[in-house]
Amino acid sequence: MEGASSSDILEGEIVGIRFGLATNHQIRIASIRDAKIDHANQLSNSFLGLPLEFGKCESCGATEADKCEGHFGYIELPVPIYHPAHVNELKQMLSLLCLKCLKIKKAKSTSGGIAERLLGVCCEEASHISIREKASDGASYLELKVPSRTRLHGDSWKFLERYGYRYGSNHTRPLLAREVKEIIRRIPEETRKKLKAKGHIPQEGYILECLPVPPNCLSVPDVSDGVSSMSVDPSRIELKNVLKKVIAIESSRSGETNFESHKAEADDIFRVVDTYLQVRGTAKAARHIDLRFGGAKMSDSSSSKAWAEKMRTLFIRKGSGFSSRSVITGDAYRKVNEVGIPMEIAHRITYEERVSVHNIGYLQDLVDNKMCLSYTQGSTTYSLRDGSKGHTVLKPGQIVHRRVMDGDVVFINRPPTTHKHSLQALRVYVHEDNTVKINPLMCGPLSADFDGDCVHLFYPQSLTAKAEVMELFSVDKQLRSSHTGHLILQMGLDSLLSLRVMLEQVFLSKATAQQLAMY
């Protein structure tokens, strides 16, 4: 029996991956501990992950930022709203449907008798209804419209009662997001297949009932000089406005809302959510859908600028904040495990030092001598540059960002070399020239010479990173090639040529030449 059970292995294969907008249920289950946020102070709470002002992540228990991936929360909206980025796409999809029977509309017959014309449409009373996108004071929504020449009767909009409200006696009527949600839920499977064939996929994510709150690590930390705020995350401000509007609507309610109140609340929520998503950034509708229907959206300049700033802050600046690039030159008077860093670079790039009872005196001297650019307390960074007011007294637990100094550890690489010995850990010495200087013997492992080659320098921040660099990349631990066993410290051809030119008039005695040949 045991042999039979062990051989009875179920096999499977992945036949496809489906992408779509996150549903409200998915937003809830993706949030840690079903973390519904209902107060502004919770937007940077400890259950959203590191970094924090103090303490550990309450979700995973991590105390270091690189050990916590961050955790999402969500804000539950008081009324469903249209997803601001997909209103037009939703309008295009619903325009293909008969809103009464939820089947694909049939084209009206322009020829033939009255019987043929009636049989050419699925529902006569709903066939002449069109859907258009409207905007009111910055809030977008869908509106139903019948031709002005059509004679209305009392129950013209009665069929919409099954989706939400029985409302309206004019030729136009707003279509609430709550009603659209019910329409999408009731679309039969056969109609869904036909919509997919036309390039439309009914998705619950078109309607927002929950707004995700990103982890703390995806927000720009506040930077202050101790007097005023120098850097504030604009998306966090807009998220607070969303939460304030949600709290205001929930506190002002008394009983069940009618159609007009529901419409007003949805418009108010739409405006603040739309502003937040423009600042934060969100996925846009598929491009081919807009082009197919002859529409071309003009990009909002303010939104583009905000998104570009977000990209620089979260990606570009993070990628290059602790690295530099420069042309290399030789300095034969320095050790092979040293690298010269220009003063300009050393004054801009920093190392992190956590203040403790053992080093507080040393770091306080650096702060007093203007060798530190800033310090961090919790999630707030304070500037220590010239012009900052007051004298700074360090406390244990703070993180000081000091300038690069002699003896610091860096590792160096010359792109595009990628072999094992192309990364070398070196000790820094700061000089006043404009290039990075290395001993000419380091040209071998870097595959470099001094004809304009550039190198990248990386500045490890944590103690763990520094230890790994010294153990894996230090010069004394990789003197011999792991492939050939030969010494990797060799001069480049240009260095050999320069020595030949410099010493062509120098002659060695036979005994001296024989001694040198032994090495």
The predicted pLDDT at position 300 comes to: 52
CATH class of 323-349+404-495: mainly beta
What does the DSSP 8-state code read for residue 316? I
Question: What's the whole-number mean pLDDT along residues 61-86?
Answer: 89
pLDDT above 90 covers a percentage of the chain that reads: 29
- For residue 365, with 0-12 CB atoms within 10 Å meaning exposed, 13-18 middle and 19 or more buried, which class applies? exposed
388 has pLDDT over 90: no
CA distances from 246 to 47, 242, 262, 347, 360 (A): 21, 6, 13, 47, 46
Query: Residues 266, 241: contact at Cβ < 8 Å?
Result: no
Question: What's the whole-number mean pLDDT along residues 57-78?
Answer: 87
Residue 129: pLDDT band with limits 50, 70, 90 = confident
The predicted pLDDT at position 19 comes to: 83
Give CA–CA dist 455/362, Å, rounded: 32
3-state SS class at 159 = helix
Top pLDDT among 300 and 77 is at: 77
Sign of the torsion angle spanned by Cα atoms 486, 487, 492, 493 = negative
| pTM attached to this predicted model | 0.55
Pick from 72-81, 139-148, 254-263, 316-325: least confident:
316-325
Closest CA to 350 of 382, 330, 326, 375: 375
3 has pLDDT over 80: no
Question: What's the whole-number mean pLDDT along residues 379-391?
Answer: 69
The predicted pLDDT at position 46 comes to: 83
Q: Which residues of 483-492 are buried (b: 16+ CB within 10 A; e: fewer)?
A: eeeeebbebb
Pick from 7-11, 89-93, 423-427: least confident:
7-11
The predicted pLDDT at position 284 comes to: 46
Q: What is the pairing mode between strands 323-330 and 436-438?
A: parallel
Query: Residues 257, 413: contact at Cβ < 8 Å?
Result: no
Copy the structure tokens of residue 203. Answer: 């998705």
The predicted pLDDT at position 297 comes to: 42
Domain ranges of the chain: 20-320, 323-349+404-495
Strands, E assignment, 196-349: 207-213, 222-224, 229-231, 323-330, 338-342
Question: What's the whole-number mean pLDDT along residues 328-339?
Answer: 91
- For residue 46, with 0-12 CB atoms within 10 Å meaning exposed, 13-18 middle and 19 or more buried, which class applies? middle
Mean pLDDT for all residues in the chain: 81
Pick from 107-111, 133-137, 187-191, 445-449: least confident:
107-111
465 has pLDDT over 70: yes
The predicted pLDDT at position 231 comes to: 58
Question: What's the whole-number mean pLDDT along residues 96-121?
Answer: 66
One-letter amino acid identity for 386? D
Residue 307: pLDDT band with limits 50, 70, 90 = low
The predicted pLDDT at position 296 comes to: 41
223 has pLDDT over 60: no
3-state SS class at 106 = coil
Question: What's the whole-number mean pLDDT along residues 179-200?
Answer: 91
480 has pLDDT over 90: no
Top pLDDT among 275 and 53 is at: 275
367 has pLDDT over 60: yes
Q: What is the pairing mode between strands 409-413 and 31-36?
A: unpaired
* H or E, element range at 174: strand 172-175
Query: Residues 444, 488: contact at Cβ < 8 Å?
Result: yes
The predicted pLDDT at position 44 comes to: 80
Residue 286: pLDDT band with limits 50, 70, 90 = very low
Residue 209: pLDDT band with limits 50, 70, 90 = very high
Query: Residues 99, 183: contact at Cβ < 8 Å?
Result: yes
- Cross-sheet strand order for the sheet of 172-175: 130-136, 139-145, 172-175
308 has pLDDT over 70: no
Question: What's the whole-number mean pLDDT along residues 71-92?
Answer: 92
Query: Residues 401, 354: contact at Cβ < 8 Å?
Result: no
